[in-house]
Amino acid sequence: MAGIIDDTDGQWIALSGLTISISLVLVAILVNEAAITGYYSSYAALEFPKEKIREITAQTQESAKNAAQLAWNYSGGLHATNESVLNNFTALLSNYSAQMNTIYAVHGETVNITLSKAVFNSSHSIDIIWLNISYDDGTTRYTSEPEIIEVKQ
Amino acid sequence: MMVTDEGQISVDFLLGISIFLLTFGFVIQFIPSLFISTSAGGSLNPVAYRTANILADDPGWWQNKTNAQNGTDWEMHLNDISRIGLATDATPSTRQTRTPKMLNKTKILQVLKLNKTMLTSKLGLYNKISGSQVDYGYNITLEKNGSPMIINGSIISFGETPPTSQDIYKITRQVLVETGNIASFRADEVTTGSSSDKVIVNISGPQSEDVIIQIIDINITNPNSSFDNATLNGSLNIPSDYSVYKRTNTSDFIYSTTPIPLENSTDALRLIFNHTLFPINTTYQLELNFTRMNFIQIWPPYIEYTSKIEPLYEPATLIVEVWK
Amino acid sequence: MNDKAQIHTLEGLFAATLMVLTVMLITRSSLIITPQSELSMDVQLKQTAEDALAILDMAPGTALQFNLTELVAGGNMTEATPQDNSLKPLDTEIDTQLNDIMYNVDLAYVENDTLTVKHAIIHGAPVENSVVATRPVTLYNSTVTQAGGAWNVSSNDVKVVEVRLIAWRV
């Protein structure tokens, strides 16, 4: 047996086997690293709330227009005063804002919609609405201040 | 004796080295199949995703530095394009659009006019590898019900035919595509001629696009009502110049042959007239002939097609395919 | 007996075993088999679901027979069961947008200051990789009356309803 131990001629075969194994492991780690980067970039595409932000602004624009019309009708149409239309509109908008807030709070997002200014025309209906919209989901924050909405009849 | 001993050593060495080499060969062969699916798998997916997003959600941008002008209506300024997007935009001077996912017909048709170099660079479908540009292969198609859409006679598809032997990265988006113009009339607002089952619509020529007329909310009182035919300026059209589609409460608009029975108040008709019927600058009188219908009789002036005209959007699928 | 004769074979075998074991270790480890392609499927699925809702919401009258607001306004407010959903026209419209994708639809809205969630369409139990797309719609007394729905909205009030589309691939 002493002969086998003393004979070191063939060690390079075992050594190269080891070298190849180690390099394989290294390559695997590298590839994994690259794959994880890809994972996070794909994940970012899923996480960024682009559709949320769009749907909130689109919905708010549409609702504000309709609320302006509704407020005018409910205040008596042509017999309305700017004050009563504004009061009714503010009530509708705060109601809308509160409901949006509750709905989005359930998925951990904050939505705030407030009225900053309303411009009236001569027939006591609202022509242009200035709103402040803000959205925050913890990582992404979006504000549109002011969001200007033109109400067309 | 000596010779036999020497021989034994080399057989042993041969055995050892061949086991080693065989396994090494196997490992080498195994490596590509081990990594190819993961390393290449994601690299172009973000590119396809980005391209599809910009095309569907962005109106694009053009910029002229010398006279400091810019806007989203790049389709009017093909030499100054910064970015190509297809979303329609009512306010070209602002960067945002309020109508993402609604693709504009002019923008789509203008894209087809651009050459490959322009498209590749404006859509960002290339990679810079050690200073030299490597273009990706791509194919962008608008499909409806599984076949490419045709707008104004052009198939809406640009890029190359996808190769069959390569991995292709594909993203599809659901969009609304502007395909033409439509005028939608409620049955109680159309004008009638001498009888209550003849509808008359004035169409002022020349028309460069197909004329589409839709009639909804038809009040049906008689069980044997039907739409029979359409005539232009009193003469009968040959059937190939127009086609009629009918929608019921169970189906979307499907092609129908005249006479088309009308049974339900939720039925709607859509008539498509070839634009070659209206070539010159004059007012054409279109008569739609029904059987046993009682439209409310409204006398001249007849209703104008152009007074109710609006863009017609159709649901479609935007397919972006990218490969190396 | 010549001991010398075995030594190279042994080393060759040793090297071979080492390499085979490494390859096995790499293929077996769960990290290397990345969920990348699966994740891009998720991105695609979520995008398709969001597109479908957005298109239904924005479509002008000539593109689709009913838009999302009209479809939701027409709901009869009953809790859906797998056999009978409460929003059949919405089901038809979503089905044409999402072919070969399974989905459920829930409606979430505020009633007496608390959030109420109702199932509107049930097609099955969502699997692990399901995605959710949401879209708010605003209902008024006039829209509900016109669509013939059973929502309780007074004439000077608004009702925000969130449409939740839960989609998955089978």
Question: Does A57 lie in the same domain as A30?
Answer: no
8-state DSSP, B269: E
pLDDT at position C96 over 50? yes
Q: Which of B2, B6, B20, B149 is best to mutate for the C interface (most C CBs within 10 A)?
A: B20
Residue A1: which of C3, C32, C134 has the nearest Cβ? C3
- Lowest-pLDDT range, A40-44, B174-178, B249-253? A40-44
Q: Is C7 helix (H, G, I), strand (E, B) or coil?
A: helix
Assigned domain for C103 exists = yes
Distance CA B22, CA A69 (A): 82
Question: Does A74 lie in the same domain as A89?
Answer: yes
**E strand or H helix at A72:** helix A50-74
Mean pLDDT of B185-212: 85
Count Cβ atoms below 10 Å from residue A9 Cβ, excluding itself: 13
pLDDT of residue C1: 46
Of B53, B174, B101, A43, the C-alpha closest to C48 is B174
Distances (CA, A) of B189 to B16, B203, B218, B303: 95, 16, 11, 8
Of B298, B310, B285, the C-alpha closest to B202 is B285
Amino acid symbol at A117: K
| C-beta atoms of B38 and A35 within 8 A | yes
Which among B233-247, B294-308, C155-169 has the top mean pLDDT? C155-169
Mean pLDDT of B225-250: 80
Question: Does A76 lie in the same domain as A53?
Answer: yes
Residue C66 structural domain:
36-168
Question: Does A53 lie in the same domain as A17?
Answer: no
- Residue A133: exposure state from Cβ atoms within 10 A (0-12, 13-18, ≥19): buried
Amino acid symbol at B256: S
Question: Does A132 lie in the same domain as A114?
Answer: yes
Chain C hits for B56, Cβ within 8 Å: 51
Question: Does A133 lie in the same domain as A105?
Answer: yes
Q: Determine contact: B105 vs chain C, CB below 8 A.
A: no
Residues facing residue B318 across a β-bridge: B142, B173
Look at the alpha carbons of B142, B147, B151, B156 in this order and tell me if their dihedral is positive or negative: positive
pLDDT at position B37 over 60? no
pLDDT tens digits, one per residue of B45-58 = 888 888 999 999 99
Assigned domain for A113 exists = yes
pLDDT of residue C13: 87
Distances (CA, A) of A31 to A13, A25, A36: 27, 10, 9
Token pair, residue A33, equals 């690293």
Q: Which of B20, B22, B51, B57 is best to mutate for the A interface (most A CBs within 10 A)?
A: B20
CA angle in degrees (0–180, nearest 5) for A103-A109-A114: 75
DSSP code string of C70-109: HHHHT---PPP-SS--S-HHHHHHHHHHSTT-EEEEEEEE
Question: Does A94 lie in the same domain as A123?
Answer: yes
Mean pLDDT of A84-107: 92
pLDDT at position C108 over 80? yes
Assigned domain for C16 exists = no
Assigned domain for C76 exists = yes
Q: Is B302 helix (H, G, I), strand (E, B) or coil?
A: coil
Distance CA A64, CA A95 (A): 11
Please give the CATH number for the structural domain made up of B191-297: 2.60.120
pLDDT of residue C30: 58
Assigned domain for A4 exists = no
pLDDT of residue B178: 93
pLDDT of residue B6: 54
Q: Which of C20, C22, C40, C113 is best to mutate for the A interface (most A CBs within 10 A)?
A: C22
On whether the CB atoms of residues A66 and C140 are closer than 8 A, the answer is yes
Q: Determine contact: B46 vs chain A, CB below 8 A.
A: yes
8-state DSSP, B83: E
Residue A124 structural domain:
48-150
Mean pLDDT of B271-287: 87
CA angle in degrees (0–180, nearest 5) for B263-B265-B270: 85
pLDDT tens digits, one per residue of B292-303 = 887 876 767 888
Q: Is B254 helix (H, G, I), strand (E, B) or coil?
A: strand
Question: Does A40 lie in the same domain as A59?
Answer: no
Token pair, residue B24, equals 């090494």
Closest alpha carbon within chain B to A39:
B42
Count: domains in chain C: 1
Question: Does A72 lie in the same domain as A28?
Answer: no
pLDDT of residue B36: 55
Question: Does A90 lie in the same domain as A64?
Answer: yes
Question: Does A67 lie in the same domain as A142?
Answer: yes
Indicate the pLDDT class of residue C32, thresholds 50, 70 and 90: low
Mean pLDDT of A38-65: 82
Residue C40: which of A7, A21, A42 has the nearest Cβ? A42
Assigned domain for C14 exists = no
Chain A hits for C58, Cβ within 8 Å: 58
pLDDT of residue A102: 93
Q: Determine contact: B24 vs chain A, CB below 8 A.
A: yes
Q: Determine contact: B27 vs chain A, CB below 8 A.
A: yes
pLDDT tens digits, one per residue of B105-151 = 999 999 998 988 999 999 989 888 878 888 999 999 999 988 999 98
Count Cβ atoms below 10 Å from residue B48 Cβ, excluding itself: 25
On whether the CB atoms of residues B102 and B87 are closer than 8 A, the answer is yes
| C-beta atoms of B13 and A17 within 8 A | no
Count: domains in chain A: 2
CA distance, residue B324 to nearest chain A CA (Å): 17
pLDDT of residue B238: 65
CA distance, residue A8 to nearest chain B CA (Å): 13
Which residue is associated with the tokens 């607001």? C69
On whether the CB atoms of residues B312 and B178 are closer than 8 A, the answer is yes
Assigned domain for A1 exists = no
Assigned domain for A3 exists = no
On whether the CB atoms of residues B235 and B323 are closer than 8 A, the answer is no
pLDDT of residue B40: 47
Alpha helix (H) ranges present in chain C? 7-28, 36-58, 68-73, 88-97, 141-147
Q: Where in chain B is the domain with CATH 2.60.120?
A: 191-297
| C-beta atoms of C63 and B314 within 8 A | yes
Question: Does A128 lie in the same domain as A92?
Answer: yes
Q: Determine contact: B17 vs chain C, CB below 8 A.
A: yes
- Lowest-pLDDT range, B161-170, B195-204, C3-12, C65-74? C3-12
Provide the phi-psi class of B68: left if phi over 0, else alpha when psi is between -120 and 50, else beta.
left
